[in-house]
Structure 1
Amino acid sequence: MDLKRLSVILATAFALSVPAMAQDDSSDDEGWATAPSAESASENDAPAYDGSTDSEFANDEEYASAYARYKAETTKKSEINRMRNEGFARAVMLGIRAQVGTNTFFGENSDGWKMGFQAGGGLMLKMNFMLKDLSLVPELTFNYRHYAYEKDMNIYTNTGSIDIFIFDIPIIFRYTFEDYNFYVGLGLNMGLKLNGTSEFKNGAATESQDNTISTSGMEVGGAFDLGYMLTRWVHVNIRVVQCFTSLSNKSLMREDIFLESSLNTFYTTVGVSFLF
């Protein structure tokens, strides 16, 4: 046999042997890839450690320390959530307030206006403001007010009254003295009139006149609060409000004696607040 034929035979045999070797290698790789490791098998078969002394892992320091870290982390998260919820509850509180009180007018040519009365109720919101014991307390209160007028004119007596339904919107900054369970507040009060009627009787006339004392639709004033906390949820307070603007609407006033009057509302109320 010459060298040329021998070389062809050897090349053919080598070419046929390569696929067989590759198939054997791939089967070996698949066997290694699919075979489960002893470590993963032992982890899947291992029972969970519950931290009890009866557990088979109770004396295993590695398991015990890992379980302790897990419990500490879980407790810390729940504690943070609880403190966050309690902090929000302390920072923002919703409530209702009911009040009754007396009112009158102060201002230029306001003599003759006696003590009237008023009553109402509404919603309030108490929220912390910058400092620990400082709170911002806005309210929305629906009130009924009755103003009474009586003036002796020597020969006869003039009488009158004003009845209005009004939304009071006080915005008060309150400072709380926690050690003594009381607070003081100072702020602004805005009133938005919803409806109003009036009656006036000139003592020289035989009949009274309706709606001749015209009132404006808005008033603005300052408010002062002094309150006591019966509990964290129940407060009582006294509120004093003096308005800077006049309730008299001079452009529509039909009674001459009130044309030059400034009817600045002054009222004092006693209120009870329920927070939740």
Structure 2
Amino acid sequence: MNLRIVPFMAAALLAATTPSLADEFDDFDNDETTSSTDNGSAVEYDGSAASEFADDEEYAAEYAQYKKEKTSKAEINKQRTEGFARTILLGVHASAGTNTFIGHETEGWGLGYQGSAGLLMQLPLGVKNLNIVPEVIFTYRHYRYAAETDFGNDDASIDIMMFEIPLIVRYTFVDNNIFLGLGLNLGLKLSGSSEFNQDVGEKITRSNTIPTTSFEMGAALDLGYMVTRWVQMNIRIVQGFTNLLDKILISGGENAFRESNFLTTYATVGFTILF
């Protein structure tokens, strides 16, 4: 027998027997009795309504409600966290409220009204949830005065268009959806007018006899609530500490206000949309 034929015969025999061995191993892998079971059957819980726990109607309803609330809260927290992680937020802001004067010789000045609109930016300060929020807003203010004299009733009004720049440092309590801010409020007068009506037996009206200064500075306090990720509401209180009355020009104006010190104070409710 030629020994050179032996290796070829061995290789052919091995090739013929390999498929049958593979089939045996495949049958072993497909046998469910060889897999990990509990009491003879596989146990799997995927948390879905199709799981074996959903067979209990009461449990299924409670679990569905739990998943809905859990998912909703997680999504809200995720969006809020992502929003505050952004470097810069831009927004538009509008507000309306009331104003008056406090200070020396300001009796008779009651509640006026005002409205404003403008833009804001929210910039991070490097501390979590702490931001500085500069604003550029245009504000219209109407102040009202009324007093009784020996001759009758006097009344007056001041109308001012202001360019205001609030600089607010704000801390956000993310879990409670609220924020608290404190800062400065700078104001530049764009235009102003006044009217004084005096009753001396007959009514006399004088215009622009209550002059106002071109610059104002005050402190601002903000308390706000995040309605959604993109919508905020706030209450702002501003107290001026510079005299809005022009002490130089008032010498030629109304005698009733020559000793007055007009410190503006106002409170507004604001609405902000971020983008």
Q: TM bucket by the smaller chain?
A: 0.5 to 0.7
2:83–2:229 contact (8 Å) kept in structure 1: no
Residue 134, structure 1, aligned to residue 130, structure 2: yes
**Equivalent residues, number:** 191
Distance 1:160 1:269 in 2: 23
Match of 1:153 in 2: 149
Deviation at 1:155, TM superposition (A): 3.8
Distance 2:166 2:83 in 1: 25
Q: Could you tell me which of 172, 182, 202 is aligned with 1:186?
A: 182
Secondary structure of the residue aligned to 2:267 is strand
Q: For the structure 1 residues 245 and 185, does the alpha-carbon distance in structure 2 shift closer, same or farther, using more than 3 Å as the test?
A: same
Q: For the structure 1 residues 88 and 182, does the alpha-carbon distance in structure 2 shift closer, same or farther, using more than 3 Å as the test?
A: closer
| Greater Rg over alpha carbons, structure | 1
Distance 1:89 1:216 in 2: 41
Residue 143, structure 1, aligned to residue 139, structure 2: yes
TM-score (norm 2): 0.67
Match of 1:68 in 2: none
Structure 2 gap segments, 5+ residues each: 1-81
Moved more, 204-213 or 186-195: 204-213
Residue 208, structure 1, aligned to residue 205, structure 2: yes
- AA at the equivalent of 1:220: M
Secondary structure of the residue aligned to 2:163 is strand
Q: For the structure 1 residues 227 and 87, does the alpha-carbon distance in structure 2 shift closer, same or farther, using more than 3 Å as the test?
A: closer
Match of 1:41 in 2: none
Moved more, 200-209 or 250-259: 200-209
Q: For the structure 1 residues 87 and 240, does the alpha-carbon distance in structure 2 shift closer, same or farther, using more than 3 Å as the test?
A: closer
Distance 1:87 1:272 in 2: 18
Match of 1:239 in 2: 236
Deviation at 1:87, TM superposition (A): 8.4
Deviation at 1:206, TM superposition (A): 2.5
Q: Which runs of 4+ in 1 moved over 6 A?
A: 86-89
Q: Could you tell me which of 84, 92, 113 is aligned with 2:88?
A: 92
Distance 2:153 2:113 in 1: 22
Q: CA RMSD in A?
A: 1.4
Match of 1:122 in 2: 118
- AA at the equivalent of 1:272: F
- AA at the equivalent of 1:240: I
Q: Could you tell me which of 148, 162, 169 is aligned with 1:166?
A: 162
Distance 1:222 1:258 in 2: 24
TM-score (norm 1): 0.67
Secondary structure of the residue aligned to 2:111 is strand
Distance 1:94 1:222 in 2: 23
Distance 1:196 1:174 in 2: 32
Distance 1:139 1:184 in 2: 16
1:226-255: CA deviations, max 9, x gaps? 000011110000000000001100111111
1:52-85: CA deviations, max 9, x gaps? xxxxxxxxxxxxxxxxxxxxxxxxxxxxxxxxxx
Secondary structure of the residue aligned to 1:91 is coil
Match of 2:245 in 1: 248
- AA at the equivalent of 2:236: R
Q: For the structure 1 residues 129 and 111, does the alpha-carbon distance in structure 2 shift closer, same or farther, using more than 3 Å as the test?
A: same
- AA at the equivalent of 2:228: T
Residue 265, structure 1, aligned to residue 264, structure 2: yes
Match of 2:10 in 1: none
2:224–2:235 contact (8 Å) kept in structure 1: yes
2:108–2:145 contact (8 Å) kept in structure 1: yes
Q: Could you tell me which of 102, 105, 109 is aligned with 2:105?
A: 109
Deviation at 1:130, TM superposition (A): 2.0
Distance 1:152 1:240 in 2: 30
